[in-house]
Copies of this chain bind each other. A is one copy, B any other.
């Protein structure tokens, strides 16, 4: 089989694909069947050249003089992102945030479903969170095997996060979304993405602080 040039896709491009997907969904909902790179760029908040370059990594899906075919491009992006099938996820840490995420239905449209939620707290095990029943953390291996889970979501306290990550890796999970404010140490081949709201706020505060300083300087 002739190898279909599998180029290396820049991380920055990968991070933008879901945004393009979202914009294309909006266009599709609005009945649009064609869109130019500039229109897409406008919606995505980037510039046209970037859109064209990003999309060109995956093939030539546009038509010169016309633009991109919305449903077709959407299909291709979905395929690239692995959105053609469903991704079962497990949440570990059935606290404030874990239960909020579990109850949130918004990920289902994008191909993710929370199929299990676990905790160490015996008093929580057995309780219901939406349609799910909280199971004991010790059952992780069973749960992951039973439900064919490949993505783990950590919403425990920071202190427990590394332990939970170790257990996840142990049972074969190689993609982890971590909400705990902790730097996780995982073996090569395991991918961790951190979502840290406090850091985002601190970045805003840094700029806000500098803004105040610069303004004081001008005066």
Contact = CB atoms under 8 A, between A and B. Distances in A.
Given A45-B183, A101-B197, A151-B208, A15 B82 contact: no
Judged by DSSP, the binding face of A is: helix
A168 to B, nearest CB: 12
Contact of A15 (B150, B181, B199, B201): B199
A112 interface: yes
A177 to B, nearest CB: 6
A136 to B, nearest CB: 23
A192 B176 CA distance: 26
Tell me the number of copies of this protein: 2
Interface residues of A, number: 56
A151 B204 CA distance: 8
Contacts of A112: 198, 201, 205
Contacts of A208: 82, 87, 150-151, 174-175, 191
Interface in A154-205: 174-177, 181, 183-185, 191, 193, 195-205
A200 B193 contact: yes
Given A201-B87, A201-B151, A81 B206 contact: yes
Interface of A: 14-15, 17-19, 21-23, 43-45, 80-83, 87, 89, 96-97, 100-101, 103-104, 106-107, 110-112, 150-151, 174-177, 181, 183-185, 191, 193, 195-209, 211
